[in-house]
A and B are shown apart, each in its own frame.
Chain A
Amino acid sequence: MSRQSGEIILDLKNVSLSFGGVKALTDISFDVREHEIRAIIGPNGAGKSSMLNVINGVYRPQKGEIILRGQHFSRMNPYKAARAGISRTFQNIALFKGMNVIDNLMTGRNLKIRSNLIQQAFWWGAARREELLHRAKVEEVIDFLEIQHIRKTPVGRLPYGLQKRVDLGRALAMEPSILLLDEPMAGMNVEEKQDMCRFILDVNDQFGTTIVLIEHDMAVVMDISDRVVVLDYGRKIGDGDPDAVRANPEVISAYLGASH
């Protein structure tokens, strides 16, 4: 796989995070280049999800800093992250179950909507024009993810694999420059996984989106990512391209098991 990775777009320096006495992340540093697919792997409880939560500002690390496009953030928060073009999906899908797919995707456009509540309530003038514009963007996402047939289905009624796809759709509706995916393929069957891989690669290829992903399925990770960070007990034990990581003895003993 030869993708053109660009400059370092996101740089994490010596990040440490603890919850009371529990150390979730200890002195972790890694970077993400523009347009690459960067995987974070590690056993359960290694701190992968915490890492993502640090990046988009849900958790505030006690130490360390985040440098996003040359800008230093010692205190990121989700709003700033979203404004800076970072969007994400969740390990346990966090959609509005009672709303249909279109409305869920429209929430992804929320940040870009300028008209105020009153204008929107009357759906008049600028508000109307604006909504049509956003709806067209949402339709592009629907087309891209091939979910036309469930456009108007309440999300709660969809099978798990499709909900995952809608979750991705909402993140894409933001037109992010960096996309954080938290176990996008967990709980899927082989076919759904293949579809999801295809979509992730397509997003990366067509929109040039930088992707940071957590995944358990080794075959998937080794197949689609450009570089891999390995965490174990909150520490970084490996970093590099898939082949290098595969060959790293510490990684093998910690995660990949004796079969390699």
Chain B
Amino acid sequence: MPDMASSQALDTFPRLLIQHAQVRASKPAMREKDLGIWQCWTWGDVAEEVRALACGLAEMGFQRGENLAIVGENRPRMYMMMTAAQCLGGVPVPLYQDAVASEMLFALLDAEIRFVFVENQEQVDKLLEIQDQLPQLEHVLYDDPRGMRHYTQPFIHDIRELMAMGRIHNRNHPDLLSTEVAAGRSDDVSVMLYTSGTTGKPKGVCLTHHAFISAAQGGADFDRLTADEDILSYLPMAWVGDHLFSFAQAMVTGFTINCPESAETVMTDLREIGPSYYFAPPRVFENLLTQVMIRMEDASVIKQKMFQYFMAVARRSGAQILDGQPVSFADRLLYALGKVCVFGPLRNVLGMSRIRVAYTAGAAIGPDLFRFYRSIGINLKQLYGQTETCAYVCLQPDGQIKFDSVGKPAPGVEVKIADNGEILVKGPMLLKEYYKRPDATAEAINADGYFMTGDAGIFDDDGHLKIIDRAKDVGKLANGAMYAPNYIENKLKFFPYIKEAVVFGDRREMVCAFINIDIGAVGNWAERRGLAYSGYTDLAAKPEVYGLIQECIEQVNGELVGEGTLADSQIHRFLILHKELDPDDDELTRTRKVRRNFVAEKYSVLIDALYNGRERQFIETAVKFEDGRQGRVAADLVISDPKTFAVAGRIS
């Protein structure tokens, strides 16, 4: 689109695209592997195709302010369609492509969708399944013509038809698109992303051009991203993370996005592309590591020994070398040798040879996992954000990585902690509103303009934010100190010996815990010590096992004492339950989350015993066996008092 006036501020995505088409017209913007060969679209090609798409939409009557649903895996044309809709002042609404039809129905109705752009026959079939419940749906456009030969419905169109129509339209109305793009404002909504809706109905989060461009620009400056980065776009397009990394940042910096051939080929494609910038949720990193470990098991003895030796070197000094901290000369030398023999080839196999910056977000990442990647020299960092904040709140700065924090507030973002521990954020990246839900918008943004994240957190001494719990679960101890049960329980559950932990302390003077041992790990430990046991109840009552768990708890207490307001949450007393918490007995949900209140009520005798200072307590509980029979388990439980640590500067 060379005829656009470039004097306009680059404050909407269509204008950014026009800028790139002028400045780097022949540089690669998108790649996709097709028939085994990476096909490339330059910024010039992208601008031309977006123009055809947008004009085609205009010809079909797509209106300013209207929503356009996009359903499919990451394909160049899917991304182009987003910009095409934005050119006309419309709002792309990417939906999860793996959702079943009935799940898609809500969003399609809520967003009053007339136009849907889908990837392939599979998605078309889903729409046809719910078509009679979608009175507003008028046009279904598809990208991949495979299997579409027999679909004769007049409202189903091949995207190539639309583009051909668009090209003709463009010849007849050459100024239309320039006018439309010029009419766009930076505080127009640029995209609508639906929240997952685990609690209640999904909500459409409306984010403006300004919000996403600010977030993308802030992140790009923070990590010094250039137009030469390569990124693999393989995460769901409906996820805010993909929209930020694969769409907004590519548009802002002009780097190249690469679309994998299919969901199954991601590993191979990753290796071929060798991205320099990478984003993945923790489970992806975990799967990669598992694959490496499995393959190491099958490797020759020499390779295994080398791997083990150099991984020990890496654990000792790898992360420090990456962070630029002092490391002994001998270790540096060993690490360099390890790089040649193990880390380099390993990174190559993982497709991470060229990675300069990698991020993970979306869930807590285990410390071992995080350290593994950093120790082999991959600059893996964490970030924190929500759909409502363009996934842009906190970032870990290079060289200041702590595995248990999510880093410092990102440039331009203001973060503060409310009295109840809730994290509040403010900045240009905040949502404009929830679509058609003023009530929800008012609930989420307070009078001072802060977005209430619903997460509870604390700042450590270096100004790094640490996420500890969901705000609604956070309580207070009797002395007013913050009490975050999930945070403490997660710390306990990081030990392989502890399967479940339930802590109590809300409005009480101290924190006490119920522990479930992991029968596999503790059983193994017992066997190695020649400790005989008959079953769970017997093993759980062994004094040696109590000693083992007590060590774990004292270690947690040692960590908590150094964590400011959480020092008062040290565990003063605990007992090991005589039975495993079980969904069949309603103690856990089916997804294996503890039902805290139910457990507290069922075992109130034990809680009383913990807080009344008793040494032991008899309990008998009804249990359901797997075959449906009822039975009873009785035990005389010992209560143990682990060591706690005095808080510095306070007389205890």
Q: Give residues in A with beta carbon < 8 Å to B.
A: 135-136, 139-140, 142-143, 146, 148-149, 151-152, 202, 205-206
Contacts and interface: CB of A to CB of B under 8 A. Distances in A.
B294 to A, nearest CB: 14
A173 to B, nearest CB: 14
A151 B147 contact: no
24 contacts: A135-B36, A136-B35, A139-B36, A139-B37, A142-B35, A142-B36, A143-B34, A146-B262, A148-B33, A148-B36, A148-B261, A148-B262, A148-B264, A148-B265, A149-B261, A149-B262, A149-B264, A149-B268, A151-B36, A152-B268, A202-B147, A205-B149, A205-B150, A206-B149
Given A139-B37, A149-B261, A151-B36, 8 more contacts: A139-B36, A142-B36, A143-B34, A148-B262, A148-B265, A149-B265, A152-B268, A206-B149
A142 B268 CA distance: 15
A151 B36 CA distance: 9
B35 A143 contact: yes
A143 B264 CA distance: 13
A197 to B, nearest CB: 14
A139 B265 contact: no
A151 B35 CA distance: 11
Contacts of A151: 36
Contacts of B147: 202
Interface in B30-70: 33-37
A195 B35 CA distance: 21
A12 B427 CA distance: 79
Contacts of B35: 136, 139-140, 142-143
A142 B262 CA distance: 12
Contacts of B36: 135, 139, 142, 148, 151
B530 to A, nearest CB: 43
Nearest to B264: A149
Nearest to B36: A139
Contacts, number: 28
SS class, residues of chain A in contact with chain B: helix
Nearest to A137: B35
Contacts of B37: 139
A128 to B, nearest CB: 16
Instruction: Please tell me the size bucket of the interface on B.
Output: 10 to 19
A152 B36 CA distance: 11
A149 B265 CA distance: 5
Contacts of B150: 205
Contacts of B34: 143
Contacts of A202: 147
A54 B396 CA distance: 70
Contacts of A135: 36
Contacts of A148: 33, 36, 261-262, 264-265
B368 to A, nearest CB: 29
Contacts of A142: 35-36
Shortest beta-carbon contacts, A-B, top 5: A149-B264, A139-B35, A149-B265, A139-B36, A148-B261
Contacts of B264: 148-149
A142 B265 CA distance: 13
Nearest to A206: B149
Nearest to B265: A149
A217 B147 CA distance: 25
A135 B37 CA distance: 11
Contacts of B268: 149, 152
Nearest to B37: A139
A139 B39 CA distance: 14
B120 to A, nearest CB: 11
Contacts of A140: 35
A152 B35 CA distance: 14
Interface in B148-188: 149-150
Contacts of A205: 149-150
A149 B268 CA distance: 8
Nearest to B261: A148
A143 B33 CA distance: 11
Nearest to A149: B264
Nearest to A102: B36
Nearest to A142: B36
A148 B264 CA distance: 8
A68 to B, nearest CB: 29
Interface in B239-279: 261-262, 264-265, 268
Contacts of B262: 146, 148-149
Nearest to A147: B264
B272 to A, nearest CB: 11
Contacts of A143: 34-35
Interface in B19-33: 33
A124 to B, nearest CB: 21
Contacts of B265: 148-149
A146 B265 CA distance: 11
A142, A143, A146, A202, most chain B CB atoms within 10 A:
A143
A206 B149 CA distance: 9
Most buried by B among A142, A149, A205: A149
Contacts of A146: 262
Interface string B318-331: 00000000000000
A205 B33 CA distance: 26
A149 B272 CA distance: 13
A139 B149 CA distance: 21
A151 B392 CA distance: 39
A143 B35 CA distance: 7
A85 B34 CA distance: 28
Contacts of B33: 148
Nearest to A138: B36
A175 B265 CA distance: 26
A150 to B, nearest CB: 8
A191 B591 CA distance: 26
Q: Which has the most chain A C-beta neighbours within 10 Å: B36, B261, B265?
A: B36
Nearest to A140: B35
Interface string B293-313: 000000000000000000000
B121 to A, nearest CB: 10
A83 to B, nearest CB: 27
A143 B34 CA distance: 8
A165 B264 CA distance: 16
B439 to A, nearest CB: 44
B280 to A, nearest CB: 18
A34 B155 CA distance: 33
Of listed B33, B35, B262, B264, residue having the most chain A CB within 10 A: B35
A201 to B, nearest CB: 10
Contacts of A206: 149
B259 to A, nearest CB: 13
B60 to A, nearest CB: 29
A187 B262 CA distance: 26
Nearest to A202: B147
Nearest to B262: A148
Nearest to A139: B35
A216 to B, nearest CB: 27
B258 to A, nearest CB: 15
Contacts of A139: 35-37
A119 B37 CA distance: 25
B608 to A, nearest CB: 53
A260 to B, nearest CB: 32
A140 B34 CA distance: 10
